[in-house]
Chain A
Amino acid sequence: MANKGWDEFEIGAMLRTFEGSIDNIAATRQEDRSYTENSSYTASVADWRINKPVFNKDYCIDCQFCWIYCPDVSIISRDKKLVGIDMDHCKGCGICVEVCPTNPKSLLMFPEQADEETEIAQWPKKDEEEA
């Protein structure tokens, strides 16, 4: 990509997502897709984040709300089970926490530098009033 001349790239302000043609991409996991170097999949935007979501699997009911609502497809789900968060692409918007329906929530926002294990150990208890 670097140092290409004006006559050495495709016309138009246009970039390709994948190397070559794709087939059945919806059934292909991100890590198995042939993303080009221009795809944002290979770029980290982790430094945009001030607060980060922490996932506590003890309370998760695998409703997939967070996976559906995440605007950056940063909730990693396997076989309809939440397995983690793509911290290279999560921008810390907090939408996943907002939509999480469990009590207590299975996802909570913490400062970027917070230690995950410590926070999970001090996870809030069930809110009896709300229940």
Chain B
Amino acid sequence: MAFDKMELRDIEVWDGNFAAAQALRQCQVDVVAAYPITPSTPIVEGYAKFKSDNYVEGEFVMVESEHAAMSGCIGAAAAGGRVATATSSQGLALMSETLYQASGMRLPIVLNLVNRALAAPLNVNGDHSDMYMVRDSGWIQFDAFSPQEAYDLNFIAFKVSEDHDIRLPAIVNQDGFMTSHTAQGVHTMDDDTAFNFVGTYNPMNDMLDFENPVTHGVQTEEDWHFEHKARQHNDLMTKVGPKIDETFEAFAKITGRKYNQVESYDMEDADVAVLCMGTSVETAREVALEMREKGIKAGVVGLRVLRPFPFMEVREALKDVKAVASLDRSSPNGAAGAIFNEVCTAMYAADNRPLMSGYIYGLGGRDLTKAHLVELYNELDSNVKAGKVTTQLQQFIGVRGPKLAYL
């Protein structure tokens, strides 16, 4: 190989962005087509610098928009390369048309999505509205709660996405600024271990296979379109989950870090639980421990995979809990929160259906404080004591002005 290897310490102090950039380097991504946007910029900037410094053998394609960035990734993936990019918020919005192309064409592309609010009003801080916007796009979606996980999940995303039984693109989410710009200790893999985990890219139906010419991106009307979409949905519902579990196992074997589609914290004997994503999980875990000191058996469920939604794993995690709050960090704009909806679907046919309520929080980077969560757990405790949800099903927390509650 013509590139240099990099010596890493066992633990490096990296923020989420740099951790993701290092993962792209270690995976030896062939093509990054990118149009940088805050707060994801350092990811593609990092890859470009690694390439300039001869730490990676690949191509960095500078394009004129995010639509072109994902289009470039699609072309490179169809040609037969290992492909990745990064974006946030408005960038993802402009990419959204091509995201459906990538998944429908069954091209394994890894997109690092550094979660940021969607304008208007313009905002660069973290919430999950961009993650939610593309939840029906057919991409696999992982969620990192910390820089360590942003690093690890990139390897897992490539491994799952590129598997020939899967061949679906994957998004690795991390919270804008809270994860992307917060430096923490990150346990690293050396270059060989990391690369060997994902392995040499094994193309499928690639356009550079001149002995077997293919046409990608064909048109189908009412005669075939439905069958293609059905196949994609089937693979997401039945094949991706087991492949993710298998990959989490394989990753744990080499790193000792075991991930789960649904992460449970203090859930063994929990009466009340908060289910959330991103950096809020860590805050909730801390508060749950404090609630336990006050006699409330609190637990936390962290959603590691948003798509395909791990319905059975959520059902298992919540099977003995009496009340659960689903936290959505995106304005549903006229509906129930997306996670609340999915959790209700997961628990609808469960033997013991818990009391379920939903909370909208943290829009535009608004802090979710420990005080908010203490109040929330107390509310869940009241629900358990009353044997019913004592509040409206949807409440806003942390917003100024008169109380907002619906349903």
Instruction: Report A5-19 CB contacts with B as 1/0, cut-off 8 Å.
Output: 111011111111110
Q: A5 to B167, Cβ gap below 8 A?
A: no
Q: B211 to A13, Cβ gap below 8 A?
A: no
**Which residues of chain B are within 8 angstroms of A23 by Cβ–Cβ distance?**
211
| A9: nearest chain-B partner, CB-CB | B227
Q: A13 to B220, Cβ gap below 8 A?
A: yes
**Which residues of chain B are within 8 angstroms of A78 by Cβ–Cβ distance?**
none
Q: A21 to B211, Cβ gap below 8 A?
A: yes
Q: A11 to B235, Cβ gap below 8 A?
A: yes
Partner of A13, one of B105, B213, B234, B235: B105
**Which residues of chain A are within 8 angstroms of B119 by Cβ–Cβ distance?**
none
How big is chain A's contact interface, by range?
10 to 19
Q: A15 to B105, Cβ gap below 8 A?
A: no
Q: B227 to A4, Cβ gap below 8 A?
A: yes
Pairs A–B under 8 Å by Cβ, sample size 12: A7-B234, A11-B106, A11-B167, A11-B231, A11-B235, A12-B106, A13-B106, A13-B220, A14-B205, A15-B215, A17-B215, A23-B211
Q: A12 to B205, Cβ gap below 8 A?
A: yes
Q: Which residues of A contact B (CB under 8 A)?
A: 4-7, 9-18, 21-23, 38
Answer yes or no: B200 CB below 8 A from chain A CBs. Answer: no
Q: A16 to B106, Cβ gap below 8 A?
A: no
Q: B230 to A18, Cβ gap below 8 A?
A: no
Decide yes or no: A13 and B217 within 8 Å by CB, A6-B230, A7-B234 being known contacts: yes
Counting residue pairs across A and B whose Cβ atoms lie within 8 Å, the total is 59
How big is chain B's contact interface, by range?
20 to 34
Sample of 4 more A-B contacts, CB < 8 Å, known A21-B212, A22-B211:
A11-B106, A11-B235, A14-B105, A38-B215
Partner of A10, one of B104, B205, B217: B205
Q: B106 to A5, Cβ gap below 8 A?
A: no
Answer yes or no: B107 CB below 8 A from chain A CBs. Answer: yes
Measured in the bound complex, the distance between the Cα atoms of B232 and A18 in whole Å is 25
Measured in the bound complex, the distance between the Cα atoms of B212 and A9 in whole Å is 17
Minimum Cβ distance to chain A for residue B202 (Å): 15
Decide yes or no: A14 and B228 within 8 Å by CB, A6-B234, A7-B234 being known contacts: no
Q: B211 to A12, Cβ gap below 8 A?
A: no
**Which residues of chain A are within 8 angstroms of B228 by Cβ–Cβ distance?**
6, 13
Decide yes or no: A17 and B214 within 8 Å by CB, A7-B234, A9-B227, A10-B205 being known contacts: yes
Interface centre among B213, B218, B230 (most CB of A within 10 A): B213
Minimum Cβ distance to chain B for residue A48 (Å): 16
**Which residues of chain A are within 8 angstroms of B231 by Cβ–Cβ distance?**
6-7, 9, 11
Measured in the bound complex, the distance between the Cα atoms of B218 and A11 in whole Å is 12
Q: Which residues of B contact A (CB under 8 A)?
A: 104-107, 167, 205, 211-218, 220, 226-228, 230-232, 234-235
**Which residues of chain A are within 8 angstroms of B214 by Cβ–Cβ distance?**
14-17
Decide yes or no: A12 and B107 within 8 Å by CB, A18-B213, A22-B212, A23-B211 being known contacts: yes
Minimum Cβ distance to chain B for residue A66 (Å): 25
Measured in the bound complex, the distance between the Cα atoms of B137 and A102 in whole Å is 55
Measured in the bound complex, the distance between the Cα atoms of B105 and A9 in whole Å is 13
Q: B227 to A6, Cβ gap below 8 A?
A: yes
Interface centre among B105, B231, B232, B235 (most CB of A within 10 A): B231
Minimum Cβ distance to chain B for residue A74 (Å): 19
Q: B104 to A13, Cβ gap below 8 A?
A: yes
Partner of A12, one of B167, B213, B234: B167
Minimum Cβ distance to chain A for residue B181 (Å): 37
Q: A12 to B105, Cβ gap below 8 A?
A: yes
Interface centre among A13, A16, A22 (most CB of B within 10 A): A13
Minimum Cβ distance to chain B for residue A7 (Å): 7
Minimum Cβ distance to chain B for residue A17 (Å): 4
Measured in the bound complex, the distance between the Cα atoms of B163 and A11 in whole Å is 13
**Which residues of chain A are within 8 angstroms of B217 by Cβ–Cβ distance?**
13
| B168: nearest chain-A partner, CB-CB | A11
**Which residues of chain B are within 8 angstroms of A13 by Cβ–Cβ distance?**
104-106, 216-218, 220, 228
Measured in the bound complex, the distance between the Cα atoms of B228 and A47 in whole Å is 29
Q: A5 to B227, Cβ gap below 8 A?
A: yes
| A21: nearest chain-B partner, CB-CB | B211
| B101: nearest chain-A partner, CB-CB | A13
Decide yes or no: A16 and B212 within 8 Å by CB, A7-B234, A10-B205, A11-B106 being known contacts: yes
| A23: nearest chain-B partner, CB-CB | B211
Minimum Cβ distance to chain A for residue B32 (Å): 22
**Which residues of chain B are within 8 angstroms of A11 by Cβ–Cβ distance?**
106, 167, 231-232, 235
Measured in the bound complex, the distance between the Cα atoms of B205 and A4 in whole Å is 21
Measured in the bound complex, the distance between the Cα atoms of B224 and A15 in whole Å is 13
Decide yes or no: A22 and B213 within 8 Å by CB, A6-B230, A6-B231, A13-B220 being known contacts: yes
Measured in the bound complex, the distance between the Cα atoms of B216 and A6 in whole Å is 18
